Structure 1
Amino acid sequence: MVVIGGGIVGTSTALELSEKGLRVALCEKGGIGQEQSSRNWGWVRISRRDPREIPLMAEALRLWPGMNERTGRELGYKKAGIMFACRTDKQMAQYERWSEHLKPYQFDCRMVSGAEFDAVIPGCEDDVKGGLFTGADGRAEPQLAAPAIAEAARERGAAILTECAVRGVETSAGNISGVITERGPIACDAVVLAGGAWSRLFSGNLDIDFPQLKVMNTVVRTEPLEGGPEAAYWTRDFAFRKRRDGGYSLASGSVNVVDIVPDSFRLAFKYLPAMQHQWRDLRLRFGPRFAQEASYARKWRNDEPTPFEYTRVLDPKPHPKVVRTTLKAAAEAFPIFAKAKPRQSWAGYIDVTPDAVPVISGVDALPGFFMATGFSGHGFGIGPAAGKLMSEIITGRTPCVDPHHFRFSRFSDGTPLKPDDGF
């Protein structure tokens, strides 16, 4: 069994398969968790999820509290709750309707306002009516999680191969029989592509048309700050969560930068419903990324270098205006953030499917080839459960949740492809 990709989904899949007694090699073109798995907000949330993801995220919330003990390492997980603030009565009503999706799970999720809001989010001077507070939500440290899970998989027998790009697969009688890496071949009868933002390029070389685009999100972290809120907080202008070191990670609650690239035109029709749904949150730009992606080979032989070897890590520059406006908005709403000293900012590419729901599925056209990708910004929190579900699909065990919504075939079977905000 070969897992391609060393982010939190790939490492979680490798851990699950290793614990089930399979021989596993995880191949990562760069280092473990160096792309979006270490660049995200660090939220572990079920609140405001697409209803199709809720059962799998409920399983993730069951798994996260035991991950330190399971891996023997610190992942920084803490159940501290997340507040989605509402500025209008209409938003309050919308979020209350969304909360109905969680009633079967009996999680702590409720609408709060007034004194109860102040008790959960002290020091807030934002002009809000109240919010949706989900106490079952939490946070973890992105820089710790994927490496910890990878090392746990290694201890259970998995081979963790970094700086080892997979160039392609080999087949025998139409079935997977191995992969070719830049270091040589690995025999296997199954492959999991957990390649994040690179998954469309890799699968395209196998004549598998996977619709996927990227959006860029910018994050800033502060030095330790005493007296700030313990729960995470979201509005359209800014969002934050407390870090294990006492500082905060902050980002815009809505703004994502979208680089126009050749795939933007190839996939425009598939993404129209998503664009109509989320156009206010997207900042389109035309720049050097177009030429860079246009230069990538879209087809290659297994005996020649690939784009994955020329670009080991996607490391986009953070958007300075987003950093400034985020810090300013947070300080206006929470005076304590006026004292915050920025220590670092970064950006990462989020891989997005047309319906903003991941693929966790086999691919019928290539028996033995599986995909666990397209998590659309939700991969960090849902990662441990995604790895569990992927391992169950591969081994033929009863899945922890119904995988129907995550099937690859939805992109070609006439299923409407659009995000669902649950309202």
Structure 2
Amino acid sequence: MPGPRVTTFHGDETLPSHVEVVVIGGGIIGASAALELAERGHSVALCEKGGIGQEQSSRNWGWVRISRRDPRELALMASSIDIWRGLDARLGRATGYTRAGILFACENAERYAEHQRACAQLAPFDVGAKMVSGGELDRLLPSGHRMALEGALYTPGDGRAEPQWAAPAIAEGARERGAAVLTECAVRGIERTAGRIGAVVTERGRIGCDAVVLAGGAWSGLFCASLGLRLPQLKVINSVLRTAPLEGGPEAALWSEDFALRRRADGGYSVASGHANIADIVPDSLRYARDFSAALRQEWRSLSLRLGWRFLDELRLPRRWALDEASPFEYCRTLDPHPSKRQLDRAFSRLVEAFPLFARAQVAQRWAGCIDVTPDAVPVISPVDDVPGLHIATGFSGHGFGIGPGAGRLVADLVVGVTPLVDPSPFRFSRFSDGSRPEPIGGF
């Protein structure tokens, strides 16, 4: 079954001969970067090998949350929430953003204590985070629920938006401000002039430029490899289903160990497993095994490792190619993995057990997406010292949708050279080569 239906976006026909900045990747990160740069008066070309928002930017859960984030991301996420609040008015288009709250369920005392520590870290931010239990928690859940909970972390200032609307709306906003937005226009590589970036070569021709933002999601590692750069990045497959409209369900999004759900603008719900993902064993799994060893020790219970044809498919992918020949990005316009029926059936059955009203919900569609992960589950938002003019914004590790507008603003700050929105040092590319030994912070 194909992925979700994304708002139709028609790319520009004309390739500009020169711009100040080329943004590679038309997901929410790339679109947000293009919007920020164009709004400041810079000439921009946004190049997407397929369609705007067609990969993970439209396939995620749609959560806009500061709760249960890595502490290194909190300041950036707080800034992103501020952007989300005014984004629809700024764009003149709907992204579906609303502050409906998010609940993280605590099935036992250990989980309660863990969430309580996370709650304390949110005190400086305006999201109203608190621990709830008893009648207060019951009022936030559908009547007749059967969840036996110790309590929950509740952040009423968190919210949701519509992944199938957001990236196209932001890209249209960038175009209205002067950006060229080019779809089915893969960037094959870069040309350098006096050691700096001087142009990109696309499948449709050359675009002269002074800077490049690589926001290629799960494709970023391969693009970096073609430049001789080592970006440790792996793909994790997450499966989601959506229901037809259903009355009586919770307004706040909810995470539990067994299932996660959030209300959609159409009245249905997006549902996924609370923790289960699939990681295909591929050649990069071996290349970056040492980088990801700490992450694997922490997350092994949530990962189903799978060895199959994907290993051979990626083994055949070239890591270098001539700029006058087709690149791997032209042979795969959209990553569209098969969803795990087993994981989704289990999550949905647990949802029905918890909330019997979902027994009458009709499953309308299932899909999966490829999450691009880094060894510490923190993104790279950074210039690249070895390639002057190149900036990377990738590796959002399943946290990219909500933080996307803030990440776009931060990378735009770095490109332009103004005071950055937040301290960018936790997101520096050099942490993978400067002896820092990046790894996840447990519990996030």
Q: CA separation in 1, counterparts of 2:78 and 2:194? A: 40
Aligned AA (1:222): T
Unaligned runs of 5+ in 2: 1-20
The reply on whether 1:154 has 2:175 as its aligned counterpart is yes
- In structure 1, the residue matched to 2:393 is 372
Aligned AA (1:161): L
Residue 273 of structure 1 aligns to a residue in which SS?
helix
The reply on whether 1:116 has 2:136 as its aligned counterpart is yes
- In structure 1, the residue matched to 2:53 is 33
Q: CA separation in 2, counterparts of 1:266 and 1:139? A: 36
Q: How does 1:373-412 map to 2 (within 5 A)?
A: 373-412=394-433
Aligned AA (1:201): L
Q: How does 1:112-191 map to 2 (within 5 A)?
A: 112-123=132-143, 124-191=145-212
Residue 120 of structure 1 aligns to a residue in which SS?
coil
The reply on whether 1:2 has 2:10 as its aligned counterpart is no
**Aligned with residue 251 of structure 2, among 230, 233, 249:** 230
Deviates more, 1:194-203 or 1:126-135: 126-135
**Aligned with residue 438 of structure 2, among 394, 417, 422:** 417
The reply on whether 1:49 has 2:69 as its aligned counterpart is yes
Aligned AA (1:386): A
- In structure 1, the residue matched to 2:35 is 15
- Superposed CA RMSD in Å reads 0.8
Residue 367 of structure 1 aligns to a residue in which SS?
coil
How far residue 127 of structure 1 moved from its aligned partner, in angstroms, is 1.9
How far residue 89 of structure 1 moved from its aligned partner, in angstroms, is 1.0
**Aligned with residue 107 of structure 1, among 112, 123, 127:** 127
**Aligned with residue 80 of structure 2, among 30, 39, 60:** 60
Please list the CA deviations of residues 196-226 of structure 1 after superposition, one character each: whole Å capped at 9, or x if unmatched: 0000000100001000000000000000000
Aligned AA (2:95): L
Determine if contact 1:51/1:422 at 8 Å carries over to the other structure: no
Please list the CA deviations of residues 104-132 of structure 1 after superposition, one character each: whole Å capped at 9, or x if unmatched: 22421000000000111233311211110
Aligned AA (1:83): L
Residue 139 of structure 2 aligns to a residue in which SS?
helix
- In structure 1, the residue matched to 2:12 is none
Determine if contact 2:60/2:369 at 8 Å carries over to the other structure: yes
Please list the CA deviations of residues 354-393 of structure 1 after superposition, one character each: whole Å capped at 9, or x if unmatched: 0000000000000000000000001100000000000011
Please list the CA deviations of residues 64-109 of structure 1 after superposition, one character each: whole Å capped at 9, or x if unmatched: 1111111111111110000000011111111111112111224210
Q: CA separation in 2, counterparts of 1:79 and 1:307? A: 40
The reply on whether 1:277 has 2:277 as its aligned counterpart is no
- In structure 2, the residue matched to 1:342 is 363
Q: CA separation in 1, counterparts of 2:184 and 2:167? A: 16
Q: CA separation in 2, counterparts of 1:263 and 1:213? A: 7
Q: CA separation in 1, counterparts of 2:191 and 2:26? A: 21
How far residue 236 of structure 1 moved from its aligned partner, in angstroms, is 1.2
Determine if contact 1:64/1:384 at 8 Å carries over to the other structure: yes
The reply on whether 1:363 has 2:384 as its aligned counterpart is yes
Residue 290 of structure 2 aligns to a residue in which SS?
helix
Determine if contact 1:51/1:421 at 8 Å carries over to the other structure: no
- In structure 2, the residue matched to 1:309 is 330
Please list the CA deviations of residues 280-331 of structure 1 after superposition, one character each: whole Å capped at 9, or x if unmatched: 0000011111111111111101111010000000000111101211110000
Determine if contact 1:191/1:368 at 8 Å carries over to the other structure: yes
Determine if contact 1:49/1:421 at 8 Å carries over to the other structure: no
The reply on whether 1:254 has 2:267 as its aligned counterpart is no
Please list the CA deviations of residues 151-201 of structure 1 after superposition, one character each: whole Å capped at 9, or x if unmatched: 000000000000000000000111000100001100001000000000000
Q: CA separation in 1, counterparts of 2:332 and 2:53? A: 15
Residue 268 of structure 1 aligns to a residue in which SS?
coil
Normalised to the residue count of structure 1, the TM-score between the two structures is: 0.99
Q: CA separation in 1, counterparts of 2:126 and 2:177? A: 34
Determine if contact 1:166/1:181 at 8 Å carries over to the other structure: yes
The reply on whether 1:353 has 2:374 as its aligned counterpart is yes
Q: How does 1:206-245 map to 2 (within 5 A)?
A: 206-245=227-266
Residue 12 of structure 1 aligns to a residue in which SS?
helix
Q: CA separation in 1, counterparts of 2:423 and 2:232? A: 22
Residue 122 of structure 2 aligns to a residue in which SS?
helix
The runs of 4+ residues in structure 1 deviating greater than 4 Å are none
Q: CA separation in 1, counterparts of 2:172 and 2:114? A: 42
- In structure 2, the residue matched to 1:69 is 89
Residue 366 of structure 1 aligns to a residue in which SS?
coil
Determine if contact 1:232/1:241 at 8 Å carries over to the other structure: yes
The reply on whether 1:83 has 2:103 as its aligned counterpart is yes
Q: CA separation in 1, counterparts of 2:315 and 2:331? A: 14
Unaligned runs of 5+ in 1: none
Report the identity percentage: 60
Determine if contact 1:389/1:401 at 8 Å carries over to the other structure: yes
How far residue 422 of structure 1 moved from its aligned partner, in angstroms, is 5.7
Normalised to the residue count of structure 2, the TM-score between the two structures is: 0.94
Residue 121 of structure 2 aligns to a residue in which SS?
helix
Residue 160 of structure 1 aligns to a residue in which SS?
strand
Determine if contact 1:112/1:130 at 8 Å carries over to the other structure: yes
Residue 96 of structure 1 aligns to a residue in which SS?
helix
Determine if contact 2:203/2:326 at 8 Å carries over to the other structure: yes
Q: CA separation in 2, counterparts of 1:76 and 1:125? A: 30
Q: CA separation in 2, counterparts of 1:107 and 1:179? A: 42
